[in-house]
Structure 1
Amino acid sequence: MAETRKASRYVVPFAVAGVAAATIGLVPALAASGDPDLPEITAQQLIEKIAASDTQTLSGTFKVTTDLGLPSVAGLADSFMDGAASGAAGGGTPSTDPTEMLTKLISGSHTLRVAADGPDRQKLTILDGSDEYSLIHNGDDVWAYDSKSNEVFHEKGASSEGPAGEKADKELPGTPKELADEVLKAAGDTTSITVGGTATVAGRDAYQLVIKPKQSGSTVDSVKIAVDAKTGTPLKFTLASVEGGKPVIDAGFTKVDFGKPAASTFDFKAPKGAKVTEGLNEDGEPEHRKAPKDVEKDLEKEFGGLDGLFGGAMPGASSDGQGMNVIGEGWTTIATYDTGAKAPKTDEAPKEVQGFLDSLGDEVNGKFGSGTVFKTKIVNALMTDDGKVYVGAVTKQALVDAANAAK
């Protein structure tokens, strides 16, 4: 248990630093004057403070707002949800499946309640009017409950003990200073990190860690992380696009308490009359999904196998055997691959889908020929008419330039 706790104390800060380490250069800067008035601190010292955080317990209310700049997908979403519900009734994915429910957070505004008591007990509740969806981890058990459908999902064997925890502990730097040094060592000259003043988040004093690309062509304007001045715990995360307007992601606590939550917070008993779906069957396969061998048989029957399903080529691999390539570096990295098939025509899609795709796409031309750029405020993708794909958190022009350079 001691080893597990040692690893878990770094979970949040290591996730933050790990993302940064892949693409950033550290620029020490002193915190500007602001409200609240806190002691000056450098960016490196703030990273060390995050890494030194030993937050094991907390509870509070968390708000997440996401704006990818996409057109309204309400009609499409309703259709997909209806299809998912009917699929669950026929033995498909249940409405309580965590991976399905948490995808709701990628659009709109959502209020969540969170609680944690060490690595073995956590609870997340998504509030939707009078309806609630709860995901509870308590020891070896994971429970998910959807009050709207009165359905329960249960899975055993979710303990954080074991080789995974031991591996993570071995891979992590031993001290906060070592973690900061690793960030510096892995970083290049693509980004500046500064302390951009102070803020008050959920009634607590915080420093603002600001990450900004130095490279042109990125769709990312900045990433801001509000860090609790006392505990070093990240309290808020904001991702802004070069397009301006509302943040792409604005997620943070509106209320937080670092005291130990009551043990009863993590107790769960299926309500009377609720439908309960067990996560694994007697063969160790997901109960609500088909086993891989059964999926393969279905694909062979309906499409002639995976190659038939994708028109002779798997995504990420071209017909001549070439796989995915990565070009560029830092914030302007672009992944490219050849599907080996001509791009599908949007006018061949159903009417409601066609309108959605048209609103996402811009026709472009260049030395590479012609194609369509499918865009959001952060991630854009160019698909050429001859089936080549370029995707990254870069501008439309950066994708066109990459396609032209490949010719």
Structure 2
Amino acid sequence: MAPYASDDSTHAGEADGPRGGRRKVARYVVPVTVAGVAAATIGLVPALADSGDPDLPKISAQQLIEKIAASDVQRLSGTVKITTDLGLPDLGGLESGLLSGAAGEAGGSSADPSAKLTELASGTHTLRVAADGPDRQKVSLMENAAEYSLIHNGKDVWGYDSASNEVYHSTAEQGAKDDATPVPTTPQELTEEALKAVDDTTSVTVDGTVRVAGRDAYKLLVEPKQSGSTVGAISVAVDARTGLPLKFTLTPSSGGAAVVDAGFTQVSFAGPAASTFDFTPPKGAKVTEGDTAEAPEDPGASPYEDFDRDWALKTIGEGWTSVAAFDTGGEGVPSSGDLPDAGGLGGFLDSFGDKVTGRFGSGTVFSTRLVNALVTDDGKVYVGAVTKDALVKAADSGQ
């Protein structure tokens, strides 16, 4: 992560998305709009902070940001607590169908990480994480008596779902961007996305100290200056010794409980055992081979070039009120009148969204506590961590 130009301003980074084409559009729409147009807008559960604020040397916001940027923790293991509270309505199992559909695109494996880790978009989860340099990482999602593990060891990426005894395998060429994990899973990844760039749309200050997972930390407070953003503030607990983000909390501008609060409950910087990253498909497991990620011919080219071209992706506005816009080339959200035989699906969609009109025409706004999306009747989509009024304004300006 590069050093930053200012100690008191930042803006939201670019949204993550799939490497291109309509085949993987669900990876963009579902993880990005639900898990955040910027990955910084994911919501997760409080890590257990220790009592008592440590007495640490004074540090400026600029120095603390530079400390995060300079952090070079290569080895660690620990436990991360994650909860998502986007305020989504009860979809009656529909969300499971979306995830299953995403897995179906990759060959129907329940072990496909693009679908499995998207489950982090709701509920409370416990992750065990381990890393030993850039070529060996492991994330294990603990769910009741079952476990899902995503393992990167050299060129091999393995996903294993113990509940179904299914395995997903893919490989990555040297220099290829790892696209195995569709959403950030640690405070460090969330923080890197939140601090990708700085400008005068954001206030960044040091907000005291705290102890997290038994370690002394500074608190970095990031607050949008712009009105119209659904982000209230982002607080990051930064390890005083290593500069590693230990806890990431995002609260909405509407108030109430945190939308994002992810943090270590236990962490060690000793090197994990080499066997941690070993994996052999269990006997009888169904193994699905995924795509091989190839290194781009032009290292400076956008990894989402095909997606940007096919869907005419563009950004309206700047900073925290920026809105991602693209044209599906199809019709908008079906209404109850359009779906006479859909078992009430049209009526459900009508009740879920709010009808809006403007110079752009008419459409439907689907809202969460953080990320909102406007789908126009002629198939254009506007998504951002902004209010409904800001979406309509963006759609009007985008005509």
TM-score where L is the length of structure 1: 0.70
Map 1:377-396 onto structure 2 (within 5 A).
Answer: 377-396=369-388
Taking the aligned partners of 1:54 and 1:121, their CA distance within structure 2 comes to: 15
Equivalent residues, number: 325
Compute the displacement of 1:255 (Å): 0.7
Taking the aligned partners of 1:404 and 1:366, their CA distance within structure 2 comes to: 6
2:365 matches 1:354:
no
- 2:128/2:140 contact within 8 Å kept: yes
Taking the aligned partners of 1:242 and 1:366, their CA distance within structure 2 comes to: 25
2:26 aligned residue: none
Compute the displacement of 1:234 (Å): 0.7
Q: Select 1:107's aligned residue among 114, 122, 145.
A: 122
Q: Select 1:61's aligned residue among 73, 79, 95.
A: 79
Structure with bigger RCO (C-alpha 8 Å, 6+ apart): 2
2:225 aligned residue: 214
Which residue identity does 1:209 align to in structure 2? L
In structure 2, the CA distance between the partners of 1:76 and 1:242, relative to structure 1 (3 Å rule), is same
2:125 matches 1:116:
no
- 1:315/1:339 contact within 8 Å kept: no
1:329 aligned residue: 318
Two-structure CA RMSD over aligned residues (Å): 3.3
Which residue identity does 1:332 align to in structure 2? T
**1:364-398 deviation per Cα after TM superposition (whole angstroms, max 9, x unaligned):** 23455433212122222223445444332211112
Map 1:99-178 onto structure 2 (within 5 A).
Answer: 99-156=114-171, 158=172, 162-164=174-176
1:175 aligned residue: none
2:211 aligned residue: 200
Taking the aligned partners of 2:393 and 2:109, their CA distance within structure 1 comes to: 44
Q: Secondary structure at the match of 1:351?
A: coil
Taking the aligned partners of 1:387 and 1:153, their CA distance within structure 2 comes to: 34
Which sits farther off after the overlay, 227-236 or 347-356? 347-356
Which residue identity does 1:378 align to in structure 2? L
Taking the aligned partners of 1:124 and 1:266, their CA distance within structure 2 comes to: 10
2:289 matches 1:278:
yes
Which residue identity does 1:135 align to in structure 2? L
Unaligned runs of 5+ in 2: 14-51, 178-194, 295-308
1:92 aligned residue: 107
Q: Secondary structure at the match of 2:93?
A: helix
TM-score where L is the length of structure 2: 0.72
In structure 2, the CA distance between the partners of 1:98 and 1:344, relative to structure 1 (3 Å rule), is closer
Taking the aligned partners of 1:278 and 1:370, their CA distance within structure 2 comes to: 43
In structure 2, the CA distance between the partners of 1:240 and 1:358, relative to structure 1 (3 Å rule), is farther
Compute the displacement of 1:164 (Å): 5.0
2:62 aligned residue: 44
Structure in which a larger fraction of residues adopt helix: 1
Taking the aligned partners of 2:118 and 2:127, their CA distance within structure 1 comes to: 14
State the identity as a percent. Answer: 61
**1:236-262 deviation per Cα after TM superposition (whole angstroms, max 9, x unaligned):** 111211122222221111111111111
- 2:11/2:202 contact within 8 Å kept: no
- 1:84/1:92 contact within 8 Å kept: no
Larger Rg: 1
Which residue identity does 1:223 align to in structure 2? I
Unaligned runs of 5+ in 1: 1-9, 24-33, 166-182, 287-313, 317-322
Taking the aligned partners of 1:164 and 1:241, their CA distance within structure 2 comes to: 35
- 1:366/1:400 contact within 8 Å kept: yes
In structure 2, the CA distance between the partners of 1:406 and 1:22, relative to structure 1 (3 Å rule), is closer
